[in-house]
Amino acid sequence: MKTDIILAGVGGQGILSIATVIGLAAVNNNLYIKQAEVHGMSQRGGAVYSHLRLSDSPVASDLIPLGKGDVILSVEPMEALRYLPYLNPTGWVVTNTHPFINIGNYPDSAALTEQLQALDRRVLVDADALATECGNVKASNIVMLGAAIPFLDIPYEQLEAAVRGIFGRKGEEIVDLNIHALKTGFEIAQQQTKA
């Protein structure tokens, strides 16, 4: 088993938190993991990504080769499309549809939606709206993590345990919020992939 995931978003949107949760779940599941992050200048509102590789045998490269990614998991719709060259022919795009607009020439929303709808394997989630319903828009990254669970080869329960592990020190309220967000994303993805 091997799953190569491109995590994408804008600096400050919380993709490293997603990576931390998956990382903890992977280690607890005795999987090999390599996860290359971007720190520094681009974290100031720029495009950020992380290459996350999970496998039951040792992983050589920290970077995923072009055309070999199994999943693009993005917390921002335009950023999901940026990394398409990394996706393999049967790979899935799992993305938040709520745009993060901090540039003047952000694409037209209808054109963007059209591009996302044109993808043959996709899970499209308005994670900001769902996270707000869960209690805090900041949990949108965890909604997206939930939406990616069907593609991770890690059982839902393990990821829930990892969310508990990572957010535990922030108090029970935060843990409950994030588990609610995780479950919400997971359920939406199950509905969309069944169809």
Cα separation of 139 and 76, whole Å?
A: 14
Handedness of CA 82, 86, 88, 89 (dihedral sign): positive
Q: Does residue 146 bind other proteins (CB under 8 A)?
A: no
Nearer to other proteins, 111 or 195 (CB): 111
CA angle 132, 135, 141 (to 5 degrees): 60
* Stretch 1-30: interaction string toward other proteins, x if CB under 8 A: ---------xx-------x---xx--x---
Considering the complex, what minimum distance in angstroms separates the CB of residue 146 from other proteins? 21
Q: Does residue 168 bind other proteins (CB under 8 A)?
A: no
CA distances from 7 to 24, 104, 120, 140, 171 (A): 16, 24, 19, 14, 27
Which stretches does DSSP call E strand in the chain?
2-10, 32-36, 47-55, 69-74, 87-96, 122-125
> Residue type for 186, please?
F
Q: Does residue 137 bind other proteins (CB under 8 A)?
A: no
Tell which positions 74-133 bind other proteins, by CB under 8 A: 78-79, 81-89, 102-103, 105-108, 111-112, 115
Q: How many residues bind other proteins (CB under 8 A)?
A: 53
* Stretch 30-59: interaction string toward other proteins, x if CB under 8 A: --xxxxxxxxxxxxxxxx----------xx
* 132 in Cβ contact with 175 (< 8 Å): no
Considering the complex, what minimum distance in angstroms separates the CB of residue 7 from other proteins? 12
> And the tokens for 177?
């919020």
Interaction site with other proteins (CB under 8 A):
10-11, 19, 23-24, 27, 32-47, 58-68, 78-79, 81-89, 102-103, 105-108, 111-112, 115
